[in-house]
């Protein structure tokens, strides 16, 4: 069994043990004891995610700069960039539209109609933090050191685009610097290998803590909503894989095997960022050349969060339905356009999807208190969103590589 298969197996074991432990704790401990256990287990998950975040800034910067510099000229960067953003736009529209169609088809909010109070409620979400002005000013870092310190992926991407393009323009004088950054990238990938040994324990802690605190009952309470959302996620996966098949043919299935481990890691930890280093490794093993993988993937983490975008339309209309607020087709299309803009760059915002949804609710006069419907189950929904984001970005990167003729035969797994 190679290292990838072993890691996947250990994560699955951690996931299963987490469910069992959480269930037993919920049934046999006092409420205070369960909360204490959940808080203690959170320390393990937090430690793992902080270790991952420690890697991301230097890894994104070094790989993206090297990728741009190796492309050689601004024309190549622009061409790949246009293809990348074009794919992301189509995938975003597809994800948002699918969420809108399914929530209107299933109408999950109708089950709660008449049971909701339209009173204001505190959700601790910064609902005003995603205006167009804030997004634009947030786009460019005032200091790249500050951007890296806060792991602002979008800001790191912007600086890296300028830095890499300048390095390519300078020519041979920048070769030593590019080689050094290439060395940094390889070292960070090695560090990733060390950190990933801790992943099964973090998965166990995350799942056990959540179930010990909320119990499996929270899943049955919102069972219909969650089942319909997960069905939508499965449908989105099928669409993404089908579109990938049109470009990659039979190799799409080999790509899905490579994405299995990072998708499972993202699902288990409810964090797309946790899977970034393994996704990059998997794409290069699949045959995507480094200069494409290291260029497209970081941009995807800011502009191509397919699972999160589908959830935004699905959840927003669900809340409107729960309050008996009927949105016209025009209003829903306007909402989709708003979400298309405000969802970009959400990767750097804590509880990003909830923040985007809360901001959207206010713009369409839907009570923000409706967010309370989602807070209890958001972790379980975020698991599906995060895994979908990984799959979407993996397929996008491979397709762009195919377009550019930058695809090699698969590398041997070790």
Per the domain annotation, does 413 fall within a domain?
A: no
Residue 29 phi, psi (nearest 5): -120, 155
What pLDDT band is residue 184 in, cutting at 50, 70 and 90?
Answer: very high
Per the domain annotation, does 411 fall within a domain?
A: no
pLDDT at 230 > cutoff 90: yes
Rg of the chain (C-alpha set)? 21
User: Can you tell me the distance from the alpha carbon of 315 to that of 400, in angstroms, rounded to the nearest whole number?
Assistant: 31
- Over range 208-223, report the average pLDDT: 76
Residue 328 phi, psi (nearest 5): -70, 165
Q: What is the 3-state secondary structure (H, E, C) of the chain?
A: CCHHHHHHHHHHHHHHHHHHHHHHHHHHCCHHHHHHHHHHHHHHHHHHHHHHHHHHHHHHHHHHHHHHHHHCCHHHHHHHHHHHHHHHHHHHHHHHHHHHHHHHHHCHHHHHCCCCCCCCCCCCCCCCCCCHHHHHHHHCCCCHHHHHHCCCHHHHHHHHHHHHHHHHHHHHHHHHHHHHHHHHHHHHHHHHHHHHCCHHHHHHHHHHHHHHHHCCHHHHHCHHHHHHHHHHHHHHHHHHHHHHHHHHCCHHHHHHHHHHHHHHHHHHHCCCHHHHHHHHHHHHHHCECHHHHHHHHHHHHHHCCHHHHHHHHHHHHHHHHHCCCCCCHHHHHHHHHHHHHHCCCHHHCCCHHHHHHHHHHHHCCCCHHHHHHHHCCHHHHHHHHHHHHHHHHHHHHHHHHHHCCCECCCCCCC
- Over range 182-209, report the average pLDDT: 87
The listed range with the strongest mean pLDDT (60-74, 169-183, 213-227, 228-242) is 228-242
Write out pLDDT tens, residues 115-143: 554 443 444 444 444 556 666 677 788 88
What pLDDT, on the 0 to 100 scale, is given for residue 83? Answer: 92
Per the domain annotation, does 412 fall within a domain?
A: no
What pLDDT, on the 0 to 100 scale, is given for residue 119? Answer: 40
pLDDT at 202 > cutoff 60: yes
Per the domain annotation, does 414 fall within a domain?
A: no
What pLDDT, on the 0 to 100 scale, is given for residue 258? Answer: 94
CA 56-186-76 angle, to 5 degrees, is 80
Of 94-108, 158-172, 228-242, 273-287, least confident by mean pLDDT is 158-172
Of 106-115, 132-141, 160-169, 265-274, least confident by mean pLDDT is 132-141
The two structure tokens encoding residue 370: 């409706």
Find where tokens 């390519």 sit.
168
pLDDT at 311 > cutoff 80: yes
Find where tokens 């989105």 sit.
236
pLDDT at 288 > cutoff 90: yes
The two structure tokens encoding residue 30: 């006092």
- Over range 332-352, report the average pLDDT: 69
Beta carbons of 373 and 364 less than 8 angstroms apart: no
- Which residues sit opposite 288 in a β-bridge? 407
Per the domain annotation, does 410 fall within a domain?
A: no
**What mean pLDDT value characterizes the chain?**
83
Find where tokens 């948002």 sit.
96
The listed range with the strongest mean pLDDT (9-13, 224-228, 258-262, 375-379) is 258-262
pLDDT at 350 > cutoff 80: no
Per the domain annotation, does 148 fall within a domain?
A: yes
CA-to-CA separations, 47 to 51, 206, 228, 279, 407, in angstroms, rounded: 6, 11, 33, 20, 36
User: Can you tell me the distance from the alpha carbon of 346 to that of 383, in angstroms, rounded to the nearest whole number?
Assistant: 16
176 compared with 363, residue with greater pLDDT: 176
Write out pLDDT tens, residues 258-272: 999 999 999 988 888
User: Can you tell me the distance from the alpha carbon of 8 to that of 25, in angstroms, rounded to the nearest whole number?
Assistant: 26
What pLDDT, on the 0 to 100 scale, is given for residue 3? Answer: 65
* Tally of structural domains, the chain: 1
The two structure tokens encoding residue 113: 């109609």
What pLDDT, on the 0 to 100 scale, is given for residue 131? Answer: 57
What pLDDT, on the 0 to 100 scale, is given for residue 358? Answer: 74
CATH number, domain containing residue 218:
1.10.3860
- Over range 34-42, report the average pLDDT: 88
C-alpha count within 13 angstroms, C-beta hemisphere, residue 367? 16
What pLDDT band is residue 323 in, cutting at 50, 70 and 90?
Answer: confident
Print the domain residue range for 287.
3-404
What pLDDT, on the 0 to 100 scale, is given for residue 2? Answer: 61
- Over range 366-386, report the average pLDDT: 80
The two structure tokens encoding residue 380: 């379980």
pLDDT at 251 > cutoff 90: yes
Longest dimension (CA), the chain: 69
Of 70-74, 158-162, 189-193, least confident by mean pLDDT is 70-74
- Over range 369-386, report the average pLDDT: 80
- Over range 299-308, report the average pLDDT: 86
What pLDDT, on the 0 to 100 scale, is given for residue 221? Answer: 61
What pLDDT, on the 0 to 100 scale, is given for residue 134? Answer: 65
Per the domain annotation, does 221 fall within a domain?
A: yes
User: Can you tell me the distance from the alpha carbon of 243 to that of 395, in angstroms, rounded to the nearest whole number?
Assistant: 9
What pLDDT, on the 0 to 100 scale, is given for residue 128? Answer: 46
Per cent of the chain over pLDDT 70 is 86
- Over range 172-180, report the average pLDDT: 91
- Over range 347-356, report the average pLDDT: 61
């Amino acid at each position: 069994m190679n290292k990838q298969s072993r890691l996947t197996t250990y994560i699955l074991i951690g996931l299963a043990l987490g469910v069992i432990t959480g269930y037993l704790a919920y049934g046999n401990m006092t409420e205070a004891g369960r909360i204490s256990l959940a808080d203690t287990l959170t320390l393990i998950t937090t430690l793992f995610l902080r270790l991952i975040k420690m890697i991301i800034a230097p890894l994104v910067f070094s790989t993206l700069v090297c990728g741009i510099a190796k492309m050689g000229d601004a024309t190549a960067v622009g061409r790949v960039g246009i293809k990348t953003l074009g794919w992301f736009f189509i995938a975003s529209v597809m994800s948002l539209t699918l969420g809108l169609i399914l929530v209107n088809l299933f109408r999950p909010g109708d089950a709660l109609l008449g049971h909701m109070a339209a009173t204001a409620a505190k959700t601790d979400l910064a609902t005003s933090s995603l205006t167009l002005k804030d997004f634009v000013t947030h786009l460019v870092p005032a200091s790249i050191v500050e951007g890296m310190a806060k792991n602002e992926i979008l800001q790191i991407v912007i600086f890296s685009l300028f830095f890499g393009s300048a390095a390519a323009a300078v020519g041979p004088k920048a070769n030593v610097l590019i080689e050094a950054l290439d060395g940094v990238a390889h070292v960070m990938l090695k560090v990733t290998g060390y950190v990933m040994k801790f992943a099964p324990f973090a998965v166990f802690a995350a799942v056990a803590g959540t179930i010990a605190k909320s119990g499996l009952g929270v899943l049955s309470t919102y069972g219909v909503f969650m089942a319909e959302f997960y069905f939508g996620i499965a449908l989105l996966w099928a669409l993404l894989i089908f579109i990938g098949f049109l470009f990659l043919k039979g190799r799409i299935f080999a790509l899905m095997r490579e994405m299995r481990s990072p998708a499972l890691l993202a699902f288990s930890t409810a964090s797309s960022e946790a899977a970034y280093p393994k996704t990059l490794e998997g794409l290069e093993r699949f045959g995507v050349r480094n200069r494409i993988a290291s260029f497209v993937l970081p941009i995807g983490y800011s502009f191509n969060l397919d699972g999160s975008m589908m959830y935004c339309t699905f959840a927003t209309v669900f809340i409107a339905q729960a309050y008996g607020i009927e949105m016209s087709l025009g209003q829903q299309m306007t909402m989709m356009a708003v979400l298309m803009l405000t969802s970009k760059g959400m990767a750097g915002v804590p509880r990003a999807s909830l923040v985007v949804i809360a901001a959207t609710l206010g713009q369409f006069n839907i009570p923000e208190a409706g967010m309370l419907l989602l807070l209890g189950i958001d972790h379980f929904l975020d698991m599906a969103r995060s895994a979908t984001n990984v799959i979407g970005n993996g397929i996008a990167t491979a397709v762009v590589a195919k377009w550019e003729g930058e695809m090699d035969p698969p590398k041997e797994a070790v």
